[in-house]
Amino acid sequence: RKEVEQDPGPFNVPEGATVAFNCTYSNSASQSFFWYRQDCRKEPKLLMSVYSSGNEDGRFTAQLNRASQYISLLIRDSKLSDSATYLCVVNFGWHSGGYQKVTFGTGTKLQVIP
Amino acid sequence: ETGVTQSPTHLIKTRGQQVTLRCSSQSGHNTVSWYQQALGQGPQFIFQYYREEENGRGNFPPRFSGLQFPNYSSELNVNALELDDSALYLCASSSQQGAYEQYFGPGTRLTVT
């Protein structure tokens, strides 16, 4: 089982739709969680950190479910500019080598259609 | 903008050659991580530098090596290039404090022919 798993998509949704992505992780002791957005041939950009209580930033809502070991990202009122790949990132905490082990999912591709 | 810079932006090398990629971290960040991202994949962790020492490495062979300088900038060196080394190389800057959010530079796209 992969440490971080995402549905690669693509998710093709019309403008104005609501879309949700899930990401599952393997280690229940994981420390922190993030969603990054990556445009084609560009670097990943931090979209949101995911907190235990859930958090919202405008049209974007992130949730954490520790019991089922997944995080989710909800995008409301999708815009054409939301078209990108969304990467789930899990910080598994301090590794025996003395660093914080961060693992990326392979990403979920979203295409918002006019 | 994250304040993380990388150079060069693009590079074409021949199999067997050596390459050095550079990264300047964001002000106030003392940790640099390097990632390799192949087309259609998520970034794969190569190694991390903290206070000028490598303190973590992913599943990459020793021909991938690096350095971190006193100003926290960093280099990634790859020897004996192979065709499969063609990828986007990303540098991420972070602090060891807090939730460990990472901020990426624009990347270097390496093509090995």
Mutate to test the interface with A, among B31, B101, B108, B111 (most CBs of A within 10 A): B101
pLDDT tens across the length of chain A (114 residues): 789 999 999 999 999 999 999 999 998 888 889 999 999 989 999 999 997 888 999 999 999 999 999 999 999 999 999 999 999 999 887 777 677 788 999 999 999 999
Residue ranges of chain B whose CB lies within 8 Å of a chain A CB = 2, 33, 35, 40-45, 48, 50, 55-57, 88, 90, 96, 99-107, 109
Alpha-carbon span A101 to B21, nearest angstrom: 23
Say whether A100 and B100 touch across the interface (CB within 8 A).
Answer: yes
Alpha-carbon span B65 to B79, nearest angstrom: 8
Say whether B90 and A97 touch across the interface (CB within 8 A).
Answer: no
Alpha-carbon span B58 to A12, nearest angstrom: 34
